[in-house]
Structure 1
Amino acid sequence: MNQLLQVSHLFRLLSKLILVGIIASVSLLTACNEKYAPMETVKQVELDRYLGKWYQVAFIPNSFQSMCIADTQAEYQLDDKDVRVINRCRTKDGGIEQANGIAKLVENSNNTKLRVSFFRPFYGNYWVLDLDPNYQWVLVGEPSRKYGWILSRTPQLDSAIQQSILKKAETLGYQRSQFQVSAQSNPLK
């Protein structure tokens, strides 16, 4: 009798897990089919010039960066055909949080569109929307306009340049008020 109860409990648990999986799959497929206003990227990104360390100087707050209070940076390294992504930031308790991911170049995008994952098999869009000709700053976003970042090769970015980038973001359908300045007080080594 005890084994029958265990099997019954296991069956109910398995049924719930399958249902959650179906709901998650349908949600992901629905999200993939959402239509957004067109968004232009830059014409081309020279990947070897883009690689290296970038500092986050402004961003649209999001749940996956909620533990970060300062000194957020991203580093991109070539890893065969893909790009290794290493994001780091300072947390409230003074510790350092690190997330390792992978970015795959979108075919026929001239390296302007990538699909990034920190939680495989889930990937998100990473589009290069505006880029300094000398690769000193970049505006990154994605078609839903829920996420966006301004990155710089230095911890601080000239205010006039940052305002110009925010103006460009507005022309692409973002609202300037969505972006929050990132604290860069003690860059991570």
Structure 2
Amino acid sequence: MSLSRYVTASAAAGLLAVTAAAPALAAGASGTGAAAAPPAVERVDVARYLGDWYQVAAIPQLFELQCAKNAKAAYTLTAAGTVGVRNTCATWLGSTSTVTGEATPLDASAARLNVSFLKLGGSYVHTGDANYIVTGLDPEYRWAVVTDSGRKSGFVLSRTPALTTGQQAAVRAVIGAAGLDACDFRVTRQDGGAQTGGRLC
């Protein structure tokens, strides 16, 4: 589904999210006894969500082992109306690691998305898996908490390299409400922000 309609609508009325970034409840537990999916925000205004986000904390992922600090995400609107994703970080060797991908929403809220970094035939390959769920979003889009349908990942994104004390408290509350544990999140080192990594709790 194209995201262009959400950008147009936001100009008349007002992302992803990580980040991110806000909550309608996602699908509940299935009849097989599977756990309910994490709650998603009611709606993400894609136009406001676009731009640069700093990763201030995350549940450690294998692909981030190379990152020493300054993990960031940049979201842009593509010509096709989807969201372009560009993730960067400073590696332990002093170089910059970059990966690009694409995100497409899975429902009208634009709060549940599938992000793909795999290209076949010049196009990104997408599935119906909600691997980017904006479960918490600041009303002013200053921070976002993002997870996936299985709660295996978690990212705290911010427009600035560091959160205020009040923002940290709000983020921890969102993390708990989403069925995640703040102690599983590790602080991301950022120039202008945290200089040492530790648990978010």
TM-score range, shorter chain: 0.7 to 0.9
Q: 1:90 corresponds to which residue?
A: 90
Aligned pair partner of 1:168 in 174, 190, 193? 174
Matched letter for residue 60 of structure 2: P
- Write the distance in 2 (CA, Å) between the matches of 1:50 and 1:164: 19
Aligned pair partner of 1:151 in 157, 160, 165? 157
Q: 1:60 corresponds to which residue?
A: 59
Q: Contact 2:38 / 2:151 at 8 angstroms: preserved in 1?
A: no
1:132-163 CA-partner distances (Å, limit 9, x unpaired): 11111001111211101000001111133123
Q: Alignment partner of 1:154: what SS?
A: coil
Under a length normalisation based on structure 2, what TM-score does the superposition of the two structures give? Answer: 0.71
1:31-54 CA-partner distances (Å, limit 9, x unpaired): xx9933232111011100000000
Structure 2: unaligned runs, 5 residues or longer: 1-31, 120-124, 194-201
Q: Contact 1:36 / 1:143 at 8 angstroms: preserved in 2?
A: no
Q: Does 1:51 align with 2:55?
A: no
> How many residues were matched structurally?
154
Q: Contact 2:114 / 2:126 at 8 angstroms: preserved in 1?
A: no
1:24-83 CA-partner distances (Å, limit 9, x unpaired): xxxxxxxxx993323211101110000000000010001121111100000000012211
- Write the distance in 2 (CA, Å) between the matches of 1:34 and 1:67: 37
Residue identity (%): 35
Q: Which is worse superposed, 111-120 or 121-130?
A: 121-130
- Write the distance in 1 (CA, Å) between the matches of 2:95 and 2:73: 17
* Bigger fraction of residues in helix: 1
Structure 1: unaligned runs, 5 residues or longer: 1-32
- Write the distance in 2 (CA, Å) between the matches of 1:159 and 1:89: 25
Q: Contact 1:53 / 1:75 at 8 angstroms: preserved in 2?
A: yes
Q: 1:99 corresponds to which residue?
A: 99
Change (3 A) 1:34 1:61: farther
Matched letter for residue 67 of structure 1: Q
Q: 1:75 corresponds to which residue?
A: 74
- Write the distance in 1 (CA, Å) between the matches of 2:100 and 2:135: 23
- Write the distance in 2 (CA, Å) between the matches of 1:156 and 1:34: 39
Q: Contact 2:103 / 2:114 at 8 angstroms: preserved in 1?
A: yes
Q: Alignment partner of 1:134: what SS?
A: coil
Q: Alignment partner of 1:157: what SS?
A: coil
CA-atom RMSD in angstroms: 2.0
Q: 1:136 corresponds to which residue?
A: 142
Q: Alignment partner of 2:145: what SS?
A: strand
Matched letter for residue 68 of structure 2: I
Q: CA deviation at 1:122?
A: 6.2
Q: Alignment partner of 1:104: what SS?
A: strand
* Bigger fraction of residues in strand: 1
